[in-house]
Chain A
Amino acid sequence: QVQLVESGGGVVQPGRSLRLSCAASGFTFRSYAMHWVRQAPGKGLEWVAVLASDGRDNYHADSVKGRFTISRDNSKNTLYLQMNSLRTEDTAVYYCVRDGKPAAAGYYFDYWGQGTLVTVSS
């Protein structure tokens, strides 16, 4: 079965960096675009970034553009999110999410990890 397991969350001071990882299994990872979606405590969902199946095309939400970078290693079935210049408003649970369409991204999300909490606080 499809499994997405995030790691790397924790408490970090404003301005510092953190890298999240997502280990994927149970499907052909290299065939799917992958996303990160976040949820601030008690709030709704916010899409963060997407990376194409082959790793060539990527997009980031305006709120994180220039600070966060999504990447993947298809040989390791792993998705990453490098987060730099973190702000208090980046505090959230970060979900690794599979795109609902194989090959070309469909931008809806059919499998979600359990999430990893990032807390940005001094």
Chain B
Amino acid sequence: EIVMTQSPATLSVSPGERATLSCRASQSVRSNLAWYQQKPGQAPRLLIYGASIRATGIPASFSGSGSGTDFTLTISILQSEDSAVYYCQQYNNWPRITFGQGTRLEIK
């Protein structure tokens, strides 16, 4: 099983600043990585797939990068509504899909 490790566990950033979330895979997943945003009481929402491709309707303030084992989700110009838990997910080793444990993003 490919283990996905996200860091930090919690990130606190001020509005208008940039947030950088990391995700590391225990072995290469090439570019087969997705990011999701989950707000309290809601289902997750797809943000990024293919490591860097924004999903439909996702603003340009969200960007993904990386390949192989190290990936980054960047949220530029943070807004209060960006407060959520963010998950990465690898799908290179399908059907043994695995998620990271999540990063909680708090807006100060």
A residues neighboring B (CB under 8 Å): 44-47, 50, 59, 61, 95, 100, 105-115
**In contact, B43 and A106 (Cβ under 8 angstroms):** no
Complex partner residue of A110 from B46, B94, B102, CB under 8 angstroms: B46
Instruction: Kindly identify, within residues 54 to 88 of chain B, every residue whose CB is under 8 Å from any CB belonging to chain A.
Output: 55-56, 87
Q: Which residues of A contact B46 (CB under 8 A)?
A: 100, 108-111
Beyond known contacts A47-B98, A100-B46: 12 more, CB 8 A cutoff? A45-B36, A45-B87, A47-B99, A106-B49, A107-B32, A107-B94, A108-B46, A108-B49, A108-B91, A109-B34, A110-B49, A114-B43
A59 touches B95 (CB 8 A): yes
Which residues of B are found within 8 Å of A47, using beta-carbon distances?
Answer: 95, 97-99
Q: Looking across the interface, which residue of chain B has its beta carbon closest to that of A95?
A: B43
Question: Contact flags (1/0) for B39-52 with A, using CB distance below 8 Å?
Answer: 00001111001000
Total residue contacts A-B, CB cutoff 8 A: 54
Judging by beta carbons under 8 Å apart, are B45 and A112 in contact?
A: yes
Least CB distance from A117 to B in Å reads 12
> Is A50's CB under 8 angstroms from B34's CB?
no
Minimal beta-carbon separation of B30 from chain A (angstroms): 13
Contact assessment for B43 and A100 in the assembled complex, using a CB-CB cutoff below 8 Å? no
Quick check: B99 and A106 within 8 Å, CB to CB?
no
* Complex CA distance for A82 and B32, rounded to whole angstroms: 29
Closest to A106 in B: B91
Kindly report which residue of chain B lies nearest to residue A115, judged by CB atoms: B43
Which residues of A sit under 8 angstroms from B96, Cβ to Cβ? 61
B22: Cβ under 8 A from any A Cβ:
no
Contact of B100 among A44, A95, A107, A110 (CB under 8 A): A44
Out of A50, A112, A114, name the residue touching B95 (CB < 8 Å). Answer: A50
> Which B residues lie within 8 Å of A111 (CB)?
46
Min C-beta distance of B93 to chain A, whole Å: 9
In Å, the complex CA distance between A61 and B49 comes to 22
In the assembly, what is the distance between CA of A44 and CA of B36, in Å?
A: 12
25 residue pairs from A and B, CB less than 8 Å apart: A44-B102, A45-B99, A50-B95, A95-B44, A100-B34, A100-B46, A100-B49, A106-B49, A106-B91, A107-B94, A107-B95, A108-B34, A108-B46, A108-B89, A108-B91, A109-B34, A109-B44, A109-B46, A110-B46, A110-B49, A110-B56, A111-B46, A113-B43, A114-B43, A115-B43
